[in-house]
Amino acid sequence: MTQPGDESIAQHVARLARFLVEEDLESVRIERPHESFEVGRTATERPAVTLVSPKAPLAQSEPRVERITADRVGIFHFSRPIPLEGERIDGDRELGYVEQLGIRNAVRSRGPGYVRAILQRDGDLVDYGRPLFELDRD
């Protein structure tokens, strides 16, 4: 059950998480007189993508899961704002891009949905057909 004030805490955490990824930091800690937050990378293979959007729970009914894969070989980067797992994507949004020989090849959501999984880290080498995102389609 969500309590009053929880949403703002979740929003704080999400903001910190984005900051963490954008600045490529290991952890961020904010201390206030009566509370403190610390957001850090886990020791898993994909620490930067284990974030959960505060607003969007995963769909309860069985969603249609669609994988978005790389169609170029190159270095994968997240687009800004960095998509979060569980985040609602409206419309055809650029989620990331594959940088190849100095050219930015956009990776788009190709329609609305929830981000079920983010499968690559910023800076990963991805080859053709490599899964990048899983989206739950409405």
Structure-block tokens of residue 138: 């409405």
Task: Name which position in 106, 128, 131, 138 contacts other proteins (CB under 8 A).
Answer: 128
| Number of residues that this document lists for the chain | 138
Q: Does 73 bind other proteins (CB under 8 A)?
A: yes
Q: Which is nearer to other proteins, 25 or 103 (CB)?
A: 103
Q: Does 121 bind other proteins (CB under 8 A)?
A: no
Choose the binding region for other proteins from 7-15, 20-28, 32-40, 73-81 (rule: CB under 8 A).
Answer: 73-81
Structure-block tokens of residue 73: 């070989």
Q: Residue 1's Cα: distance from chain center in Å?
A: 24
Structure-block tokens of residue 80: 């800004």
Choose the binding region for other proteins from 11-19, 22-30, 58-66, 125-133 (rule: CB under 8 A).
Answer: 125-133
Contact 27, 53 (CB under 8 A): no
Amino acid letter, residue 115: V
DSSP for 13-63, please give it.
HHHHHHHHHHHT-SEEEEE-SS-EEEEE--SSS-GGG--B-SS-PPPSS--
Q: Does 57 bind other proteins (CB under 8 A)?
A: no
Q: Does 106 bind other proteins (CB under 8 A)?
A: no
Min separation Cβ 101 and other proteins, Å: 6
Q: Does 86 bind other proteins (CB under 8 A)?
A: no
Residues binding other proteins (CB under 8 A): 72-75, 100-101, 125, 127-130
